[in-house]
Amino acid sequence: MGEQGFTATLSRSKGRKSWCVIFRHPLRPTSDGRPGCRVRRGLGTQDEGEAQAMVDQLNTLLADRSYWSPTAREQAVRDVGEKVAAFFYDGIKVQPPDPWADREAVIPLPMKEDGYSCGLLVGPTRAGKTTLLRQLIGSDPERDRFPSTSTAKTTIYDIEVILAATGSFRAVVSFLGVNEVRSYIEECVVAAMSAAMQGKAEDEILGRLLEHSEQRFRLSYLLGALPRRAGADEELEDDCDGGNEGDEGVEGITADEKEQQEEALRGFLERIQEIAADLLAHAADGLEVEPSSLDPEDYDAFVDIAEREILGSPRARQLVDDILDEVESKFEVLREGEFSYDVAEWPARWTYETSDRGEFLRTVNRLSSNYAREFGRLLAPLVRGMRVQGPFKPAWLEDGAGAPKIILVDGEGLGHTPASASALPTSVTRRYGAVDVILLVDDATQPMQAASQEVLRSVVASGHDAKLAIAFTHFDQVQGPNMPSPHARRQHVLASLEGVINHVDSAIGADAGRRLRRRLEERTFFFSGIQKPLSTRNRLTQTSFRNLLSVFEEAMLPPRPTEDVPVYDLANLVLSVQKAAQQFQEHWNARLGLTYKPGVTGEHWARIKALSRRYANQWSDQYDTLRPVADLIKFLSERLAYFLASPRAWEPADAPGDMQEAALDAVAQAVYARLHDLATKRLFQDYLNDWITAYAHRGTGSTRVRAREIRTIYETAAPVPEETPAEESVEFLDAVRDLFREAAEAAGAKVVS
């Protein structure tokens, strides 16, 4: 049973009554670094039969590679129980996947030494980031449709495009792990069954199955969709890219495929309704009233218990397995290219190369398209990231002009509500140090939203504002009787930008407003009609594009050397850390529903539970807009901006202002990069068992208990230093001091105690 060397055996030491288990662990290294560390654990029983049963369960985990990941712990608990799962998972080092490094191993990004500059595109959903990217790489919106666009959230993973002068077209794609996919499917099944328990219509039940609440994982892309009821709104068709006949990026679903998909979906729907009805009857057995007549708190507890019943139901788990099998079969549509597999034999990476541009785009569109008529054969929900390289070139460049040597990184839109902009995802902010240009793309037709404001705040606080540029799209749609000319329309948009700059200046200080105005004076661009191929009439837009390319060219120039050295006194750091920790605690106490804070909305218990599930299973450091790690980075970086901007002294004392600014930027960037590791370690990795405990609570009162336990994690991981600090506060303050000292000295600054 299991691979050789990875089999558990029953043992009992001489003179002892209790049994123990001995096995070699496939994920824990020996002293020489090889897998197979010998583990001996007491089973806590003197009954040989009970002990052997636990050993057999452990061998189930050792024999199946799909369990060989920390992210599979929750599934293992359901299959073999908490105690046996702990034997296997306790002590495994947290190693979140690094899809960027995975892609880098196949297609490394060119460096400045190669004459390249790299740009990160950020901005709100529907602002036009991907449409702008299409223009920069010469992707025809009708013929190519790469990458995909729509009026809804479309880009759900990083896409990196390397414009090369010559050569073939290459792609590398990294995929979500099998346990992440399973977890998404489980949450979709739970949502669908909950809807069935509430007596919802079939359309809503199926809708919850086919689209995850985060709108990032859509089973409809993979499994297809049932025909809409007569008179129903054609939401799927309107929401997606194109919808025109003759799409050259896809082959088309055959009638037989469509019939098979609809048959499978109807089967899944019937099973969901049947299982939900049985579970509802079972869960309601102990109730004296109908579930629908319960008060809100008791009904929430009932739903929580019902969800546990769903995940614990063998029939529901078999349904999840069957859907997962159906999803895995969709990889077969990629007949070109080559797959690499992980230890669970699940596709981890796909690579492809061809000299045929049309064939290349048709193939990679399988992994990026959202074309409704291809539902059932689109793999985008399974993709974690994509990198492509080839002789892409803007169509509006003059004949004979070479392709610009740039790299463009496009990611998920940032949302439109204030809550979604409380902090930018770490997947975005971690890239600041690796790119040369940060291009904020926003819609000129409306005032700048909270997400865009947050981009400006984070870029300034991180010391990367010298990389910033802004692209305002839909400029042709800015209209009004008070705006008779393009100049008046530009001034109207710039007035909105000025308001945001004032907001950033008041929030961060440290001369943020002046810096932003100066940086953006020659780096704010306006674009019209970019959803279509540009004509000679698009003179303003073509000029803006050429000026934007000049920004990329300037970014390749080496920074001006500076010998000016800021000197910092760590004694003055305490107030900044204290203020940041206090802001973090107040913010999250309000979101957990434990206190009230103006401007912060308490989160629904189910969302807090979903966040704890991701932390407990090490899937992600966020759930939707709930981003504790990103929030701690935000508050620390903004408070430290005050400290960074006011060093104790300068060497030499009469250093010119621009040289001082460059030196301060270098320190801020070094600090910001290290804050990501600090926040991840303290809030995520160091408290794994606490997150597991918080997630495990069920039933009446579990919402408050979970919220209080999460608050305890935060208060221990990022405590507020007081006048008489506790041990946790001293340790946290020391960690920030050590981080600052290391970062400042690496950036050429001096630190005194």
pLDDT of 581 over the 50 cut:
yes
- Amino acid type, 625: T
Q: Where are the domains of the chain?
A: 9-89, 113-166+391-555, 565-752
- Higher local confidence (pLDDT), 272 or 179: 272
Q: What's the whole-number mean pLDDT along residues 436-461?
A: 93
Q: What's the whole-number mean pLDDT along residues 557-580?
A: 88
Query: Which region holds residue 527: left if phi is over 0, alpha if psi is between -120 and 50, else beta?
Result: beta
pLDDT of 304 over the 90 cut:
no
pLDDT of 97 over the 70 cut:
no
Q: What's the whole-number mean pLDDT along residues 460-484?
A: 92
Helix (H) and strand (E) counts for the chain?
A: 25, 16
- pLDDT 10s digits, 140-180: 888 888 888 765 555 578 899 999 989 999 999 999 988 78
- For tokens 């990329």, what's the residue? 552
Nearest alpha carbon to residue 692 among 123, 57, 70, 35: 70
Q: Which residues pair with 118 in a beta bridge?
A: 407
- pLDDT 10s digits, 19-50: 888 888 887 766 455 677 778 888 888 899 99
| Token representation of residue 746 | 């690496």
- For tokens 């190519």, what's the residue? 144
- Higher local confidence (pLDDT), 286 or 537: 537
- Residues of 123-154 as b/e, b for ≥16 C-beta within 10 angstroms? bbbbbbbbbbbbbbbbbebeebbbbbbbeebb
Q: What is the pLDDT of residue 240?
A: 41
| Token representation of residue 558 | 């080496």
| Token representation of residue 432 | 């600041």
Q: What's the whole-number mean pLDDT along residues 306-313?
A: 76
Nearest alpha carbon to residue 87 among 18, 35, 39: 39
Q: What is the pLDDT of residue 283?
A: 65
Q: What is the pLDDT of residue 253?
A: 77
Alpha carbon 302 to chain centroid distance? 31
- Model confidence at 413, pLDDT cuts 50, 70, 90, reads confident
Q: What's the whole-number mean pLDDT along residues 593-602?
A: 90
| Token representation of residue 445 | 């037709």
Q: pLDDT above 90 covers what percent of the chain?
A: 48
- pLDDT 10s digits, 354-397: 999 999 999 998 898 877 778 888 899 999 999 999 999 998 88
∠ at Cα 182 (180, 188), nearest 5°?
105
Backbone angles phi, psi at 122, to 5 degrees: -130, 155
**Cα torsion angle, 77, 81, 82, 84, sign:** negative
pLDDT of 416 over the 50 cut:
no
Cα distances (angstroms) measured from residue 100 to each of 68, 172, 190, 280, 324 = 22, 11, 31, 44, 25
Q: What is the pLDDT of residue 433?
A: 93
Mean pLDDT check: name the lowest of 1-10, 99-108, 109-118, 589-598. 1-10
Q: What is the pLDDT of residue 326?
A: 93
Q: At what angle do helices 605-616 and 688-696 cross, to 10 degrees?
A: 140
How far apart CA 522 and CA 538 sit, in angstroms, is: 20
Q: At what angle do helices 727-746 and 702-717 cross, to 10 degrees?
A: 50
If DSSP codes are grouped into helix, strand and coil, which group holds residue 721? Answer: coil
Q: What's the whole-number mean pLDDT along residues 542-564?
A: 89
Contacts of 709 (CB under 8 A, 6+ apart): 690, 693, 694, 697
- Model confidence at 248, pLDDT cuts 50, 70, 90, reads very low
Q: What's the whole-number mean pLDDT along residues 488-514?
A: 89
- Model confidence at 401, pLDDT cuts 50, 70, 90, reads confident
Q: What is the mean pLDDT of the chain?
A: 86
Asked whether the beta carbons of 432 and 464 are under 8 A apart, the reply is yes
Q: What's the whole-number mean pLDDT along residues 487-503?
A: 92
∠ at Cα 517 (512, 522), nearest 5°?
140
Q: Which residues pair with 409 in a beta bridge?
A: 120, 160
- Higher local confidence (pLDDT), 273 or 141: 273
| Token representation of residue 388 | 């492509």
Looking at CATH, the fold of the domain delimited by 113-166+391-555 is given as Rossmann fold (3.40.50)
- pLDDT 10s digits, 720-748: 988 667 888 999 999 999 999 999 999 99
Asked whether the beta carbons of 538 and 529 are under 8 A apart, the reply is yes
Question: H or E element: which one contains 120?
Answer: strand 117-122
Q: What is the DSSP string of 196-207?
A: HHTT--HHHHHH
Residue 19 CB-density burial (10 A; 0-12 exposed, 13-18 middle, 19+ buried): buried
Side-by-side strand order, sheet with 406-410: 338-341, 347-354, 169-175, 383-390, 158-163, 406-410, 117-122, 437-443, 468-473, 524-526
Question: What's the 3-state SS for 362-418?
Answer: HHHHHHCCCCHHHCCCCCHHHEEEEEEEECCCCCCCCCCCCCCCEEEEECCCCCCCC
How far apart CA 180 and CA 382 sit, in angstroms, is: 9
Q: What is the pLDDT of residue 245?
A: 32
Q: What's the whole-number mean pLDDT along residues 192-217?
A: 88
**Cα torsion angle, 241, 245, 251, 254, sign:** positive
Q: How many CB atoms lie within 10 A of CB 201?
A: 11
Cα distances (angstroms) measured from residue 357 to each of 172, 378, 388, 389 = 16, 20, 12, 11
Q: pLDDT above 70 covers what percent of the chain?
A: 88
Cα distances (angstroms) measured from residue 53 to each of 79, 81, 139 = 13, 12, 60
- The DSSP call for residue 565 is E
How far apart CA 33 and CA 31 sit, in angstroms, is: 5
Side-by-side strand order, sheet with 565-569: 649-651, 565-569, 750-752
Runs of H (alpha helix) within 110-177: 129-137
∠ at Cα 146 (141, 148), nearest 5°?
90
pLDDT of 277 over the 90 cut:
no
| Token representation of residue 651 | 């060497």
**Cα torsion angle, 275, 281, 284, 290, sign:** positive
- Model confidence at 293, pLDDT cuts 50, 70, 90, reads low
- Model confidence at 418, pLDDT cuts 50, 70, 90, reads very low
- Model confidence at 553, pLDDT cuts 50, 70, 90, reads very high
Give me Rg for the CA atoms of the chain. 28
Q: What is the pLDDT of residue 73?
A: 84
Question: What's the 3-state SS for 665-709?
Answer: HHHHHHHHHHHHHHHHHHHCHHHHHHHHHHHHCCCCCHHHHHHHH
pLDDT of 285 over the 70 cut:
no
Q: What's the whole-number mean pLDDT along residues 220-231?
A: 78
Q: What is the pLDDT of residue 101?
A: 86
Q: What is the pLDDT of residue 150?
A: 62
Asked whether the beta carbons of 345 and 207 are under 8 A apart, the reply is no
- Higher local confidence (pLDDT), 200 or 657: 200
- The DSSP call for residue 113 is G
Q: How many CB atoms lie within 10 A of CB 730?
A: 12
Asked whether the beta carbons of 241 and 369 are under 8 A apart, the reply is yes
